[in-house]
Amino acid sequence: MNDTGTDLIPAPRRIGHTLPGGGVGYVLDEDTEIDARPGTERVARWLRSTVGAATGLPLAPHRNSADRILLRIAPELAEGLGGPEAYRVVVDGSLVAIDGASEAGLFWGAQTFRQLLGPEAFRRAPVTARTEWELPAVLIEDAPRFAWRGAMLDVARHFLPKGDVLDYVDLLAAHKLNVLHLHLTDDQGWRLEIKRHPRLTEVGAWRARTKVGHRASPLWDERPHGGYYTQDDMREIVAYAAGRHITVVPEIDMPGHSQAAIAAYPELGNTDVIDTAALSVWDTWGVNPNVLAPTDTTLAFYEDVLTEVLEIFPSPFVHIGGDECPKDQWRASPTAQARIAEQGLADEDELQSWFVRHFDRWLTERGRRLVGWDEILEGGLAAGATVSSWRGYAGGIAAARAGHDVVMCPEQQVYLDHRQAVGDDEPVPIGFVRTLEDVYRFEPVPPELDAAQAGRVIGTQANIWTEVMESRQRVDYQTFPRLAAFAEVAWSRLPAPEARDFTAFERRMTGHYARLDALGVGYRSPGGPLPWQRRPGVLGRPIEGAPPIV
């Protein structure tokens, strides 16, 4: 029998094995039916497509069997447990009851039920002739700490095929993460079809070659690299994610990180400073000097882009980047200087703020909210903007104190491209060492904030930058198992970092590694990289010592 509840990740708020009046276990078998009450039909379909596929059981719609999985929407759980994503799972005798304060809460409860069944429930087809799945009596009540529990997947630096993105949606859902932030455009590639401007993908989606490793590396992959998602591809991803209660937040970078767009449409760049027609999609890494020109032509072009983005993504949030925008070309550009004078701006930082504010207003008028990296604070924060605090905590602290919403994702703590251990075996070692325990002890809300300001931290996010991740296998290695630790940080109400029981978390991870194995995830094992996961001779950029808290 599965040792129910001892290895659940993320850890639920309350779990008990003694039920009122006493309880006995439950056996899932071919007679088990799903009793889907109003509003629960999508979760019932998901259970059949996952648990049903893994067990080989029909899980038919309820007709007359006494054995059933009862699915219900119970709004009262929101008040009792805390919010619309709350759920309760009860396993007792002939019944498994899963209640959710909303459909989202019900879905998270169904994910917990799947974990209770054991690792085999995470396969896509049965692997044994087993016909009965035993569960002991249990009561679980749970609700998340944060509303925004995100992972950023960078598909601009290295393109991931649609199937891999769909798999990652399932992986996020299995960990109760509910935001997939897709980094769709950068200097190294434009990944989303825009019908008004087809050269963005005809030209901007492809680069001639790729730097291997850190930008100081002498190695090159001389194969062309690229790819993009058609609008129908992306609608499929968005719909697939929505069925798993995950919001896909698109990022269209501006005004920096834009060389791929300028290579496709040279008039978007600072043509009075450089020959933008000579630019190609960038083939290396780092901060690129070629930024968008602050012209009416550029504004209109990106309004066209965002018009199509809004048609594809129902997300209330749209990310516009706003990070790492060097101002040298603007300082040298008569056109940019004329715009500064015309708008009465103090300097180039305020020019960037003017650019961001334009799209903040544009998105607000269409019922959406702008999100940007913490550089959007420079020159004045755009009204209504939400800040992704990446350079540390400081940007998020400043934004929260100014009354703006914040997603905490400090590079020093939750950038999953950073290396996982010391030593030469770690593939392409980037940044600080961030172990599984380090991520588990990450705290998204800094103590400097008072209660009202802390309430502005709407969530947290782990970022998966792919400059040195050329394949799904590399993404898996860098992301897991650390994303499991992050998921618990984002979902569970944990003690202060120093008081967290990492030893107990490690014990629970033993069972979770078996789930990841069943899902086919090429994670980093506790013993270090396997031979085929290493990248000998590929230069990284390790940073020694503990990361600063900034």
* Separation of alpha carbons 71 and 174, rounded Å: 19
pLDDT at 231: 98
User: What is the β-pairing status of strands 179-183 and 185-186?
Assistant: unpaired
In tens, the pLDDT along 351-385 reads 999 999 999 999 999 999 999 999 999 877 777 88
CB atoms within 10 A of CB 16: 13
Peptide bond into 294 cis (omega under 30): no
pLDDT cut 90: percent of the chain above it: 93
Helix or strand or coil: residue 154? strand
pLDDT at 94: 77
* Separation of alpha carbons 357 and 363, rounded Å: 10
C-alpha 337, offset from chain centre:
38
- Phi–psi pair at 471, nearest 5 degrees: -155, 165
* 8-state DSSP, 21: T
* Separation of alpha carbons 358 and 175, rounded Å: 37
Mean pLDDT score across all residues of the chain: 96
Say if residue 19's pLDDT is above 70: no
pLDDT at 379: 79
In tens, the pLDDT along 160-218 reads 999 999 999 999 999 999 999 999 999 999 999 999 999 999 999 999 999 999 999 99
In tens, the pLDDT along 287-301 reads 999 999 999 999 999
For 386, counting Cβ atoms within 10 Å of its Cβ (0-12 exposed, 13-18 middle, 19+ buried), the class is buried
pLDDT band at 441 (very low <50, low <70, confident <90, very high): very high
Mean pLDDT of 307-336: 98
**Which residues are the active-site residues?**
186, 257, 324
pLDDT at 25: 82
Q: Is the pTM of this model over 0.75?
A: yes
pLDDT band at 82 (very low <50, low <70, confident <90, very high): confident
Of 461, 245, 285, 475, nearest to 373 by C-alpha is 461
Exposure string for 468-504, b = 16+ CB within 10 A, e = fewer = bbbebebbbbbbbbbbbbbbbbbbbebeeeeebebee
In tens, the pLDDT along 36-54 reads 999 999 999 999 999 999 9
* 8-state DSSP, 247: E
pLDDT at 17: 77
